[in-house]
């Protein structure tokens, strides 16, 4: 369906202006290789600035890579970027182009610009708005809607005018659970009925675990892993995550606590540790059995998540906070 | 994950191949005229939602200028003709040049062009649709200004129909210029600034009678496309308008319109794929 080989893009260094420091050159995608199969929901996961959006812009023909190739349904997108628009539907992060239109006109116009006749565009518009529960909002301008509703309306526009490949850049940002369900149901239906393929950009790990067939984990422009969520979790299957929350601060004077600190990722009062099961058991015993318990507010033991996978794969530790969206 | 009920799947049988798929997997391109129409309609509706207050501002600004000039300029004379024609075309400059430059500047900066760039629509449809919508949006303001001006300066309404040619042609020239400025400006603030400057130029060089200006200003006036719309309109107030010159002026507007819209289309292509 979609084959990416050796895709690289470097943003040139920017010179500083009026005392502000310049920024060095950034390698936004670095020798990326991906194969997306027909009919799968494929995810790009990574923290902010990992290069997800840059990669997607190169796949959709919006940005020319410095080197490498992108082939979708056998078409060379680097050489003929305009063909991408005839193969895929893209939901970007911005809604500026549609903001001042009504939901209904946004969907209809997008369908018309995908080459549908007026009659077909209106029929598809009505179907999609009904499917996503937007019919009641059809006459409202996108600007007047809440963030989640606006996002759903943009998603509706992306669905009008069938495409075999949907490229969705964080489609459910700001949505309530009902809207999220509507999005995933619509995606699933298109896959089941038409064999549609979905490329999903997300930094929401929980979403990634539940909806994706396969996921590529990006870090600093490189694909550091690509597998099913279950397959990725197996890589850290031997480990357990221990979360410790201290009442005020950790009692560093206690040796058992000081030993744990070496392996902990700290964020304020919360420590997060990845340990082998027996290590985890003894760590919990140490902090719950001895004097450390008086300082402890809460603790949890959990099986590894994609976030742990990301850490285990060597993703930059400082980026972890950006990986999970609250 | 599957959230589709079994019934839903039974009702719509699984299709191995999408019905509208072509052999090479490419959906057809959107055709030029239908997509031009779709963009025009969407942009006009956008303008109606968001820009009506600005149309009032544009109209009141022009009427205010005419009120000011009434103290300086004699009624019914050549200068009065220039003031009324200049004020009417100023409404076109305000909306088509200034607001369109701002719109495209912001759209480009905020990534809104991605939406159009990932649709199989001809660039010319997007640019012409937006330019056309903004130009049509000036119609009520321009007509009101012209009628009020004629009443204030005691000018005949006989040939006011010429606005039917002046608005689209001056509109094409100015909106093409506005779109090109908005799409070429490296930053949105710069697009706004250029649009404002263009409108100020149309105001100063179009409304004030040319005879009293220094020579270099008159050259600058000749370079501004709105001047030709103003001149064409002003000439029709006379008892025996020189229609050949009116046509020539309108021809200049049309020429500038074609050229600037071509530049804007090129700028759109350039801005859409980076």
| A196 lies in some domain | yes
Please report the pLDDT score of residue A158 as a whole number: 95
- Do A159 and A285 belong together in one domain? no
The answer to whether B182 and B269 have CB atoms below 8 angstroms apart is no
Counted domains in chain A: 2
pLDDT band at residue B23 under the 50/70/90 scheme: low
| A284 lies in some domain | yes
- Do A144 and A282 belong together in one domain? no
Please tell me whether residue A36 adopts helix, strand or coil conformation.
strand
- The domain of A250 spans 238-303
Please state, in angstroms and rounded to a whole number, the distance separating the CA atoms of residues A200 and A183.
12
- The domain of B77 spans 30-272
Mean pLDDT of B113-129: 93
pLDDT in tens, A64-106: 999 999 999 999 999 999 899 999 999 998 888 999 999 999 9
Which stretch of B81-90, B100-109, B209-218 has the lowest confidence by average pLDDT? Answer: B209-218
- Do A180 and A225 belong together in one domain? yes
Please state, in angstroms and rounded to a whole number, the distance separating the CA atoms of residues B152 and B143.
14
| B23 lies in some domain | no
- The reply to whether residue B30 touches residue A115, judged by beta carbons under 8 angstroms, is yes
| A161 lies in some domain | yes
Mean pLDDT of B178-188: 92
B contacts of A117 (beta carbons < 8 Å)? 34
- The reply to whether residue A92 touches residue B106, judged by beta carbons under 8 angstroms, is no
The answer to whether A60 and A249 have CB atoms below 8 angstroms apart is no
- Do A218 and A251 belong together in one domain? no
Which stretch of A70-84, A198-212, B61-75 has the lowest confidence by average pLDDT? Answer: A198-212
Asked whether residue A323 carries a pLDDT value surpassing 50, the answer given is: no
Which stretch of A220-234, B88-102, B136-150 has the lowest confidence by average pLDDT? Answer: A220-234
Q: Of A184, A205, A230, at which residue does a domain stop?
A: A230
pLDDT in tens, A61-75: 999 999 999 999 999
- Do A203 and A75 belong together in one domain? yes
Please report the pLDDT score of residue A326 as a whole number: 28
The answer to whether A88 and A169 have CB atoms below 8 angstroms apart is no
Instruction: Extract the runs of DSSP E, i.e. beta strands, from B167-243.
Output: none
Chain A interface includes B14 (CB < 8 A): yes
Q: Which residues of A17-55 are buried (b: 16+ CB within 10 A; e: fewer)?
A: eeeeeeeeebbbbbebebebeebbbbbbbbbebbbbbbb
- The reply to whether residue A115 touches residue B14, judged by beta carbons under 8 angstroms, is no
Chain A interface includes B48 (CB < 8 A): no
| B4 lies in some domain | no
How many interface pairs between A and B have CB atoms less than 8 angstroms apart?
Answer: 149
Please tell me whether residue B248 adopts helix, strand or coil conformation.
helix
CATH number at residue A275: 3.30.70
B contacts of A122 (beta carbons < 8 Å)? none
The answer to whether B31 and A210 have CB atoms below 8 angstroms apart is no
- Most confident among A19-33, A307-321, B17-31 (mean pLDDT): A19-33
| A260 lies in some domain | yes
Chain A interface includes B21 (CB < 8 A): yes
- The reply to whether residue B18 touches residue A164, judged by beta carbons under 8 angstroms, is yes
| A317 lies in some domain | no
Which stretch of A56-65, B51-60, B245-254 has the lowest confidence by average pLDDT? Answer: B51-60
Please report the pLDDT score of residue A19 as a whole number: 72
Which one-letter DSSP state was computed for residue A143?
A: G
| B13 lies in some domain | no
Mean pLDDT of A187-201: 93
Chain A nearest-CA distance from B252, in A, is 32
Residue of B nearest to A165 (CA): B25
- Do A101 and A210 belong together in one domain? yes
Q: Between these two residues, B114 and B14, which has the higher pLDDT value?
A: B114
- Do A272 and A225 belong together in one domain? no
Q: Between these two residues, B210 and B203, which has the higher pLDDT value?
A: B203
- Do A146 and A293 belong together in one domain? no
pLDDT in tens, B7-21: 444 444 444 444 444
Cβ neighbours of B141 (radius 10 Å) = 26
B contacts of A112 (beta carbons < 8 Å)? 30, 34-35, 37-38
Chain A nearest-CA distance from B189, in A, is 17
| A192 lies in some domain | yes
Chain A interface includes B119 (CB < 8 A): yes
pLDDT > 90 in chain B, percent: 57
Out of B16, B29, B117, the one facing A115 most closely (by C-beta) is: B29
Please report the pLDDT score of residue B33 as a whole number: 94
Mean pLDDT of B120-133: 92
Chain A interface includes B96 (CB < 8 A): no
| A316 lies in some domain | no
The answer to whether B141 and B55 have CB atoms below 8 angstroms apart is yes
| Cα Rg of chain A, angstroms | 23
Please report the pLDDT score of residue B139 as a whole number: 92
pLDDT band at residue A224 under the 50/70/90 scheme: confident
pLDDT in tens, A115-166: 999 999 999 999 999 999 999 999 999 999 999 999 999 999 999 999 999 9
Please report the pLDDT score of residue B6 as a whole number: 45
Please state, in angstroms and rounded to a whole number, the distance separating the CA atoms of residues B234 and A26.
57
Chain A interface includes B27 (CB < 8 A): yes
Which stretch of A18-27, A199-208, B226-235 has the lowest confidence by average pLDDT? Answer: A18-27
Please report the pLDDT score of residue B63 as a whole number: 94
- The reply to whether residue B272 touches residue A101, judged by beta carbons under 8 angstroms, is no
- Do A32 and A144 belong together in one domain? yes
- Do A199 and A123 belong together in one domain? yes
The CA-CA-CA angle for residues B221, B222, B228, to 5°, reads 100
The answer to whether A315 and A47 have CB atoms below 8 angstroms apart is yes
Q: Which helix (H) or strand (E) holds B196?
A: helix B188-207
- The reply to whether residue B3 touches residue A92, judged by beta carbons under 8 angstroms, is no
Chain A interface includes B3 (CB < 8 A): yes
Counted domains in chain B: 1
Asked whether residue A293 carries a pLDDT value surpassing 50, the answer given is: yes
Asked whether residue A113 carries a pLDDT value surpassing 90, the answer given is: yes
| A212 lies in some domain | yes
Cβ neighbours of A287 (radius 10 Å) = 24
Chain A nearest-CA distance from B225, in A, is 29
- Do A57 and A163 belong together in one domain? yes
Q: Mean pLDDT over all residues of chain A?
A: 87
Please report the pLDDT score of residue B10 as a whole number: 43
- Do A185 and A296 belong together in one domain? no
Strand partners, A201: A44, A169
Asked whether residue B258 carries a pLDDT value surpassing 90, the answer given is: yes
- The reply to whether residue B9 touches residue A64, judged by beta carbons under 8 angstroms, is no
- The reply to whether residue B25 touches residue A87, judged by beta carbons under 8 angstroms, is yes
Q: Mean pLDDT over all residues of chain B?
A: 86
All residues at 6 or more sequence positions from A253 whose CB lies less than 8 Å from its CB, including other chains = none
């Amino acid at each position: 369906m979609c084959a990416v080989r050796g895709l690289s893009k470097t943003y040139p260094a920017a010179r500083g202006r009026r005392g502000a420091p310049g920024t060095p050159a950034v390698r936004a995608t670095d020798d990326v290789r991906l194969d997306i199969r027909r009919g799968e929901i494929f995810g790009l996961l990574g923290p902010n600035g990992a290069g997800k959006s840059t990669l997607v812009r190169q796949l959709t023909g919006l940005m020319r890579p410095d080197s490498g190739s992108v082939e979708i349904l056998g078409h060379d997108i680097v050489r003929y970027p305009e063909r991408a628009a005839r193969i895929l539907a893209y939901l970007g992060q911005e809604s500026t182009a549609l903001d001042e239109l009504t939901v209904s006109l946004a969907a209809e116009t997008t369908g018309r610009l995908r080459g549908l006749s007026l009659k077909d565009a209106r029929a598809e518009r009505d179907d999609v708005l009904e499917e996503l529960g937007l019919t009641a909002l059809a006459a409202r301008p996108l600007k007047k809607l809440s963030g989640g509703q606006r996002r759903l309306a943009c998603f509706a526009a992306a669905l009008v005018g069938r495409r075999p490949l949907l490229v969705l850049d964080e489609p459910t940002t700001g949505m309530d659970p009902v809207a999220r369900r509507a999005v995933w149901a619509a995606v699933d239906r298109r896959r089941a009925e038409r064999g549609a393929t979905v490329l999903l950009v997300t930094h929401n790990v929980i979403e990634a675990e539940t909806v994706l067939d396969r996921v590529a984990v990006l870090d600093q422009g490189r694909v550091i892993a690509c597998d099913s969520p279950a397959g990725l979790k197996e890589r850290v299957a031997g480990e357990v995550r221990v979360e410790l929350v201290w009442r005020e601060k950790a009692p560093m004077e206690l040796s058992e606590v000081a030993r744990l600190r070496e392996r902990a990722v700290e964020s304020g009062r919360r420590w997060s540790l990845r340990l082998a099961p027996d290590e985890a058991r003894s760590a919990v015993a140490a902090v719950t059995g001895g004097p450390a318990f008086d300082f402890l507010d809460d603790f949890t033991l959990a099986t590894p998540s994609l976030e742990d996978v990301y850490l285990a794969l060597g993703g930059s530790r400082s980026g972890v906070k950006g990986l999970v969206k609250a | 994950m599957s959230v589709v009920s079994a019934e839903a799947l039974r009702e719509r049988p699984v299709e191995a191949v999408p019905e509208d798929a072509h052999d090479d997997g490419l959906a057809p391109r959107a055709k030029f005229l239908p997509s031009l129409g779709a963009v025009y309609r969407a942009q006009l509706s956008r303008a109606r939602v968001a820009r009506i207050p600005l149309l009032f501002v544009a109209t009141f600004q022009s009427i205010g200028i005419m009120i000011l000039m009434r103290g300086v300029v004699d009624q019914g004379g050549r200068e009065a003709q220039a003031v009324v024609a200049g004020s009417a075309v100023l409404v076109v400059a305000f909306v088509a040049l200034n607001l369109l430059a701002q719109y495209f500047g912001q759209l480009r900066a905020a990534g809104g062009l991605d939406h159009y760039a990932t649709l199989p629509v001809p660039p010319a449809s997007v640019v012409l649709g937006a330019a056309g919508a903004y130009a049509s949006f000036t119609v009520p303001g321009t007509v009101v200004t012209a009628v009020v001006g004629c009443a204030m300066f005691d000018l005949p309404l006989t040939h006011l129909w010429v606005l039917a040619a002046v608005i689209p042609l001056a509109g094409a020239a100015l909106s093409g210029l506005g779109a090109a400025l908005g799409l070429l400006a490296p930053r949105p603030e710069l697009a706004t600034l250029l649009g404002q400057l263009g409108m100020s130029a149309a105001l100063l060089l179009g409304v004030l009678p040319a005879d009293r200006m220094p020579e270099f200003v008159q050259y600058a006036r000749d370079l501004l496309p709105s001047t030709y719309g103003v001149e064409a309109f002003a000439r029709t107030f006379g008892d025996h308008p020189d229609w050949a010159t009116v046509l020539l002026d309108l021809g200049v507007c049309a020429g500038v319109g074609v050229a600037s819209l071509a530049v804007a289309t090129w700028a759109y292509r350039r801005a859409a794929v980076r």
